[in-house]
A = this chain, B = another copy of it.
Amino acid sequence: MDNVDYKAVRRAALALSLKSDEERVAMLLAVADALDARRQEIEKANALDIDQARRQGMGEALIHRLALPSSKLDGAIAGVRAVAAQKSPVGLVRQRRLLDEGLVLEQVTYPIGVIGMIFEARPDALIQIVSLAIKSANGLILKGGREAQRTNACLVDIIRSCLDGAPFIALISSHEDVDVMLRMEGEVDLIIPRGSASFVRHVMDNTHIPVLGHADGICSVYIHSQANLDEAVAIAVDSKVQYPAACNAAETILVDRAIAPRFIPAFQKALREYGVIIHADGEAMENLEKGKDVVPATEADFDTEYLALALALKVVGNLDEALEHIAAHSSHHTDAIVTEDAEAKARFFREVDSADVFCNCSTRFADGYRFGLGAEVGISTSKIHARGPVGLEGLVTTKWQLSGSGQLVASYSGPGARSFIHRELEP
């Protein structure tokens, strides 16, 4: 177990928040320079992590996530500089209102405080998360994947060495530490867990601290009767195969009955290039060529996050049936429709209750970088606070600041009471 002084992290986070944005930008640029200057150490530590992972029989997909080659490190360093260049998310006046003469209310953004961040194998995620935390002036309790232990320790060492020890960051390493953190209500303000659905659910079920994130990523693409056929095939394929292990990869393809006889054979042909297994419902089956790539779907298939080259395929009678299926089975992460019909698109956008609703593009666009948020700490399926990819904006809260000149509430009630003015002022 690591000995984390949570109160010290909070004090250091407060000190970070009292710095100016210029100072925090200088810190970020120092981190970027140091990572660049000490890349040999990073590569060495990463090579040791990869060696051990290989010896322990880790699969190539996970090794790929764990690896931090020069190209990925370049991207991560560029990411730090990009976060530095973004507008400061703290100290923004969101609203300003004159309540009465000499009584002005302001709603101002502030850092959330201390964020508990649990992430998986990818060590480049650590760089992204630390950058966002510095820019938004939050403290961090960080738990990285055990596989990336040496790489993470090396990265944190570099960050500490150029930021006076960076006391607003604490690193924890064991599951026991995570369990301690989950009980730190009042000391940790928000927990963002990334990892398997069962792990995220474990976190959500075992803490009273607010949790931002998502357990399952059961995303669907609905091919509407008025879809452009070629576009529909390409989008459904990209949504599945471009990175099947991602939470925003599609797991279910819904096909309108009217277009099924044309869409399904073309889709099957395209999927065969990638070796995708199709779990098909009865009606979809009628349009598929028999083969090793086709198996009958069970009900459970439509609630399964394959995270692999497999998908569930179902024929629906119309948009209403598609909406019903999505309401019943979606994990409210990302759902897409392919259609040329504006009214079908509008209904899909309004009625699908998911963080991201897309039309005529791949579900894989659901990502903070692609959305132009600069970077993301994760993707939230909660409707509370940040929803969808969470960047800097999701890491701030607000305070109501009221500046008066002796006003009493008693003056606003009873006979001869004053009235409020409630006039909006420029923020």
Whether B370 lies near A399 (C-beta < 8 A) is no
**How far is B219's CA from A409's CA once the two chains are assembled, in angstroms?**
15
Cβ of A415 within 8 Å of any chain B Cβ, yes or no, is: no
Cβ of A199 within 8 Å of any chain B Cβ, yes or no, is: no
Whether A99 lies near B210 (C-beta < 8 A) is no
Cβ of A345 within 8 Å of any chain B Cβ, yes or no, is: yes
Cβ of A387 within 8 Å of any chain B Cβ, yes or no, is: yes
Binary B-proximity of A139-164 (CB < 8 A = 1, otherwise 0): 00000000000000000000000000
User: Which residue from chain B places its CB closest to the CB of A404 in the assembled complex?
Assistant: B361
What's the least CB distance linking A240 to chain B, in Å?
A: 11
Whether B384 lies near A210 (C-beta < 8 A) is yes
Binary B-proximity of A392-412 (CB < 8 A = 1, otherwise 0): 000001111111111111101
Q: Identify the stretch in A59-67, A170-178, A231-239 within 8 Å (CB) of chain B at 4 or more residues.
A: A231-239
Q: Count identical subunits in the complex.
A: 2
**How far is B399's CA from A345's CA once the two chains are assembled, in angstroms?**
14
Within 8 Å by CB of A406, from B208, B231, B410, B412, lies B231
**How far is B144's CA from A162's CA once the two chains are assembled, in angstroms?**
56
Within 8 Å by CB of A238, from B208, B383, B408, lies B408
Binary B-proximity of A280-291 (CB < 8 A = 1, otherwise 0): 000000000000
Within 8 Å by CB of A382, from B210, B345, B387, B412, lies B210
Whether B354 lies near A234 (C-beta < 8 A) is no
Cβ of A57 within 8 Å of any chain B Cβ, yes or no, is: no
Within 8 Å by CB of A361, from B97, B208, B372, B407, lies B407
- With a cutoff of 8 Å between Cβ atoms, the chain B residues found around residue A353 in the complex are 113
**How far is B357's CA from A72's CA once the two chains are assembled, in angstroms?**
44
7 closest pairs, A vs B, by CB? Answer: A361-B404, A364-B409, A372-B422, A238-B408, A383-B397, A231-B406, A361-B407
Contact surface of A with B, Cβ cutoff 8 Å? 14, 17-18, 97, 99, 103, 105, 108, 112-113, 189-190, 204-205, 208, 210, 212, 228, 231, 234-235, 238, 242-243, 345, 349-351, 353-362, 364-366, 370-372, 382-385, 387-389, 397-410, 412, 420, 422
